[in-house]
C-alpha cells in the first residue's frame, strides 16, 4: 500500500473514531415532580468498599467535549501518544507550548509515528486548545 493511500485511510478512520465520544453529557434521570412525603433514611456510614468519584477537572471536561479521548489517554498510548508521554518529551523545551498548540490546531504527522493527527481547529476554539496544551504539559 503506498504512503499517501495509507495516510488517507488513517485520517478517514481517525475521523470516524471522533464520533465515538458523545457530543453532550449523558442525560440525567428525570426527577419526580414532587418530593416524597417521608424522606428515606440516611445511612450512618458508607460501606468500606464504596468508592467516591473524584471531581473531574474543567480541562478533562474540555478534553472529553473536544473528543480528544477518541485517540489519546492520559497515561497510555491509544491511536496517539499518552499525554504524560507528551509532557515528558516536551518538558523544559523552549517554545514547546506554541509548537504543540500549532500541532493540535493544524494537525500533522511524524512526531509520534506514521499515524497523523487530524486538525482540531476551527471545531475546537484556539483558547480551548491552549488550555488543553497547558494542562498536558503540566502532567507528571
pTM of the model: 0.62
Query: For domain 3-18+55-137, is the CATH number 1.10.760.10?
Result: yes
Which grid cell sits at 75? 497515561
d(Cα 103, Cα 76) in Å, to the nearest integer? 20
Domain ranges of the chain: 3-18+55-137
5-50 confidence digits (pLDDT tens): 444 444 444 444 444 444 444 444 444 455 445 554 555 555 555 5
66-87 confidence digits (pLDDT tens): 999 999 999 999 999 999 999 9
Least Cα distance to 135 among 97, 92, 99, 109 occurs for: 97
Which grid cell sits at 61? 471536561
Three-class SS state of 83 = helix
- pLDDT-above-70 percentage for the chain: 61
Amino acid at each position: 500500500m503506498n504512503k499517501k493511500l495509507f495516510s488517507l485511510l488513517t485520517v478517514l478512520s481517525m475521523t470516524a473514531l471522533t464520533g465515538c465520544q458523545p457530543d453532550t453529557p449523558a442525560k440525567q434521570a428525570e426527577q419526580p415532580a414532587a418530593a416524597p412525603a417521608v424522606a428515606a433514611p440516611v445511612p450512618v456510614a458508607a460501606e468500606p468498599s464504596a468508592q467516591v468519584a473524584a471531581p473531574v477537572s474543567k480541562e478533562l471536561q474540555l478534553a472529553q467535549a473536544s473528543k480528544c479521548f477518541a485517540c489519546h489517554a492520559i497515561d497510555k498510548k491509544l491511536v496517539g501518544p499518552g499525554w504524560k508521554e507528551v509532557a515528558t518529551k516536551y518538558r523544559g523545551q523552549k517554545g514547546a507550548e506554541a509548537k504543540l498548540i500549532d500541532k493540535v490546531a493544524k494537525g500533522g504527522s511524524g512526531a509520534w509515528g506514521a499515524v497523523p493527527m487530524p486538525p482540531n481547529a476551527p471545531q475546537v476554539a484556539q483558547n480551548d486548545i491552549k488550555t488543553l496544551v497547558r494542562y498536558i504539559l503540566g502532567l507528571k
